[in-house]
């Protein structure tokens, strides 16, 4: 049951926060509904969940339309090809996966004037996977400063998808590097408030390292039917 799963995930967040002296108010739960239909999202909404993450733009746009009667917040957490920026700018509240200025510029230019600024996170390739999306840590500051100048975007922070870690300590070691990068950006004068890191398997380690938004899919909706 989605309602029970949500309750369990919320308890994990509460416990993870109390284990490191943080307030649970500091951690937003993003329910990752990719591959699940509108009915599952309605069920989660009925259990109090309002923020949802989606990877596949076309799938998301259909779901967003089918759920337009609900006051939901939609986060794009999948790759954003140039030919998809318009859909993201039109339909989403957040984009977590910006890793090039060109993408940011297109989102900025295509954001409809009647909508609030699009919230944006820069995706960082924190563990150096050669084929992975995300900007290199050394290039984050320059990109952040460029994005901060775009009026229709609101730069909120950083997002990472590290490789699965062997254990808690290994997960923490990687998340800690993202945290340090985030702190460095803040010290440089950028007003950021979002560290989007932590999934079903590493929620606790991410919270301990300062995550402010965990993206949880399978622990809420169950196993996915096609690979993500």
Ligand X SMILES: *Cc1c(COP(=O)(O)O)cnc(C)c1O
Under rule CB under 6 A, residue 215 binds ligand X: yes
Q: Which C-beta is closer to ligand X: that of 145 or that of 200? A: 200
Under rule CB under 6 A, residue 132 binds ligand X: no
Scored b (16 or more CB within 10 A) or e, 46-68 reads: ebebebbbbbbbebbbebbeebe
Q: Total number of residues binding ligand X (CB under 6 A)?
A: 14
Under rule CB under 6 A, residue 213 binds ligand X: no
194 closest CA partner among 171, 178, 208, 217: 178
Among 24, 51, 55, 170, which residue interacts with ligand X (rule: CB under 6 A)? 55
Among 161, 192, 206, 213, which residue interacts with ligand X (rule: CB under 6 A)? 161
DSSP line for 86-120 = HHHHHH-SEEEEE-SHHHHHHHHHHS-TTSPPEEE
Q: Which C-beta is closer to ligand X: that of 143 or that of 199? A: 199
Q: For residue 55, give the DSSP letter.
A: S
Q: How far apart are CB 161 and ligand X at their closest, in Å?
A: 5
Give the nearest residue (CB) to ligand X.
217
Of the ranges 83-91, 101-109, 127-135, 216-224, which one interacts with ligand X (CB under 6 A)? 216-224
Under rule CB under 6 A, residue 175 binds ligand X: no
> Which SS3 state, helix, strand or coil, does residue 192 take?
coil
Alpha helix stretches (DSSP H) within the chain: 2-19, 38-46, 57-66, 85-91, 101-110, 140-148, 168-187, 203-208, 218-221
Site string for ligand X, 77-116 (x = CB under 6 A): x---------------------------------------
Angle (deg, nearest 10), helices 101-110 and 140-148: 20
> Which SS3 state, helix, strand or coil, does residue 196 take?
strand
Q: Which C-beta is closer to ligand X: that of 110 or that of 218? A: 218
Of the ranges 43-51, 102-110, 135-143, 194-202, which one interacts with ligand X (CB under 6 A)? 194-202
Q: Which C-beta is closer to ligand X: that of 76 or that of 104? A: 76
Under rule CB under 6 A, residue 137 binds ligand X: no
């Amino acid at each position: 049951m989605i309602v029970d799963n949500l309750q369990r995930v919320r308890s994990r967040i509460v416990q993870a926060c109390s284990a490191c002296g943080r307030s649970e108010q500091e951690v937003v739960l993003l329910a990752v509904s990719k591959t699940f239909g509108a009915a599952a999202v309605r069920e989660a909404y009925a259990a109090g969940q309002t923020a949802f993450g989606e990877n596949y733009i076309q799938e998301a746009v259909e779901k967003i339309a089918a759920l337009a009667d609900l006051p939901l917040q939609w986060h794009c957490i999948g790759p954003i090809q140039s030919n998809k920026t318009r859909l993201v700018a039109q339909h989403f509240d957040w984009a977590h996966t910006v890793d090039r200025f060109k993408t940011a510029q297109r989102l900025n230019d295509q954001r409809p004037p009647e909508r609030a600024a699009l919230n944006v996170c820069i995706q960082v390739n924190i563990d150096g996977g050669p084929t992975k999306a995300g900007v290199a840590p050394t290039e984050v500051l320059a990109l952040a400063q460029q994005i901060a100048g775009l009026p229709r975007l609101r730069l909120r922070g950083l997002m990472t998808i590290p490789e699965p870690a062997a254990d808690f300590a290994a997960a923490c070691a990687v998340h800690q590097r993202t945290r340090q990068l985030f702190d460095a950006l803040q010290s440089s004068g950028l007003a950021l408030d979002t560290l989007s890191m932590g999934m079903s398997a590493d929620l606790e380690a991410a919270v301990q390292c300062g995550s402010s938004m965990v993206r949880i899919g399978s622990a809420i909706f169950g196993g996915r039917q096609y690979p993500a």
